[in-house]
């Protein structure tokens, strides 16, 4: 498994681009992206659990009923959510791809991100389609990644190369996600492409399985979005025998998928709105996986712990507090807690009680950009990891006037 360049264009047969079409007032920011496979592909998706769902999600669910897609179109700057004509606009986005490229509208994944409840006109998208399609190229992943960003400050992109059935395969992904990020799928937009040949059923199985330990374990602010989803296209151009069962080739595919998704999880968490630090909570020694996940999520979601990490304050009591209200059945008198970064590791809690430690050393560790919170429950063999970020003054500033 090798990390490579190329994002969603790394695999064979994909082109992408992103342009400014006029949805966003800032002309320097791209607001419309397109990703296209040269052949129809197996397709899978997972969606937000929020009962309020953006129109694009409803249209995409309809389009993916046959497990196939060939293109992804996404706009930023407007979520197309809670609009009377939202379904109509979302369908028109797919129809515009069909008109310009000949790809059936039903084979188009449609996505939108931005302000909720703001009417979205199809006019700028329609006017920009010729330019968008003309700009498609095999190194366009960067442009597409820019076109889906809202409050993101960094492009989120990753790609890997691996082998299945003796064939060289590639997989890449781009993501947007900075605020309104909270576990329970899917609180971001993620587009993944691969040239592996895999049946739609197995692709959906792989994605649905993977997200329980990756994207469902990310939290920035406790708010689950209305619009977001994770999608995967697999066009089969690598030439491997189609994966139709949970065999060794499926295991290799899952490993590649997990490498891509974990990479994107870390990027999303580290670029949380106003964030200065990536937080990672690793829980070990749990009696069950569910307990490990519940504990890791609870710690990473704690506003008090997030604030302490912003201030480089080794307030380990907030970790214990979060574990205590996680509803997981744990023995608090067995818990060890340590803080870790590139500056070292420091034990701050042993058997559920404080220990003597150097506050100066702890602060040195916690001043780093990436912090790991190590929790050992000493009650089993299961483990889990969750990702988040610190809570800063800037988060309030960003969201205080996000709409206006």
Backbone angles phi, psi at 134, to 5 degrees: -65, -25
Alpha helices in 183-340 (DSSP H): 200-210, 248-270, 289-301, 303-310, 317-324
Contact 339, 371 (CB under 8 A): yes
- 197: which residues sit within 8 A by CB, 6+ positions away? 234, 236, 238, 239, 240, 241, 242, 243
CA dihedral in degrees (18, 20, 22, 27; nearest 10)? 150
Alpha carbon distances (Å) from 141 to 33, 180, 199: 9, 24, 25
Query: Is 49 a residue of the active site?
Result: no
Burial of 393 (0-12, 13-18, 19+ CB in 10 A): exposed
Which one of the listed residues 113, 187, 214, 259 is annotated catalytic? Answer: 187
Burial class (CB in 10 A: 0-12, 13-18, 19+), 165: middle
The two tokens of residue 314 are 């080794």
Coil, strand or helix: which one is 57? helix
Q: Are the C-beta atoms of residues 255 and 374 closer than 8 Å to each other?
A: no
Catalytic residues, by residue number, are 187
């Amino acid at each position: 498994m090798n990390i490579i360049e190329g994002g969603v264009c790394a695999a064979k047969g994909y082109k992408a681009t992103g342009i400014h079409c006029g949805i966003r007032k800032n002309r320097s920011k791209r607001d419309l992206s397109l990703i296209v496979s040269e052949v129809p592909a197996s397709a899978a998706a997972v969606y937000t659990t929020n009962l309020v769902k953006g129109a694009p999600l409803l249209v995409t669910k309809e389009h993916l009923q046959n497990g196939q897609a060939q293109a992804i179109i996404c706009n930023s700057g407007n979520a197309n959510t809670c609009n009377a004509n939202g379904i109509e606009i979302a369908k028109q986005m797919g129809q515009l791809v069909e008109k310009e490229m000949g790809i059936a509208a039903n084979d188009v994944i449609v996505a939108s991100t931005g302000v909720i409840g703001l009417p979205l006109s199809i006019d700028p998208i329609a006017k920009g389609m010729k330019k968008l399609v003309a700009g498609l190229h095999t190194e366009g992943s960067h442009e597409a990644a820019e076109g889906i960003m809202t409050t993101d400050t960094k492009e989120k992109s990753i790609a890997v190369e691996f082998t299945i059935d003796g064939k060289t395969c590639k997989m890449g992904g781009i993501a947007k996600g900075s605020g309104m990020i909270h576990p329970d799928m899917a609180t971001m937009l993620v587009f993944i492409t691969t040239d592996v040949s895999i049946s739609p059923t197995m692709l959906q199985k792989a994605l649905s399985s993977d997200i329980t330990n990756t994207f469902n374990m990310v939290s920035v602010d406790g708010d689950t979005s209305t619009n977001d989803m994770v999608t995967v296209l697999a066009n089969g151009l690598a030439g491997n025998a189609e994966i139709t069962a949970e065999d060794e080739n499926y295991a290799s595919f899952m490993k590649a998928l997990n490498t891509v998704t974990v990479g994107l999880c870390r990027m999303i968490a580290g670029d949380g709105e106003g964030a200065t630090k990536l937080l990672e909570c690793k829980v070990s020694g749990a009696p069950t996986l569910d307990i490990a996940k519940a504990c890791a999520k609870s710690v990473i979601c704690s506003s008090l712990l997030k604030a302490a990490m912003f201030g480089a304050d080794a307030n380990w009591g907030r970790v214990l507090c979060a574990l205590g209200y996680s509803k997981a059945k744990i023995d608090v008198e067995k818990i060890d807690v340590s803080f870790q970064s590139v500056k070292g590791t420091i034990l701050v809690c042993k058997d559920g009680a404080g220990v003597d430690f150097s506050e100066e050393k702890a602060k040195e560790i916690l001043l780093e950009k990436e912090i790991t919170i190590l929790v050992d429950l000493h009650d089993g063999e299961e483990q889990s990891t969750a990702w988040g970020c610190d809570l800063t003054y800037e988060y309030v500033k960003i969201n205080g006037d996000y709409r206006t």
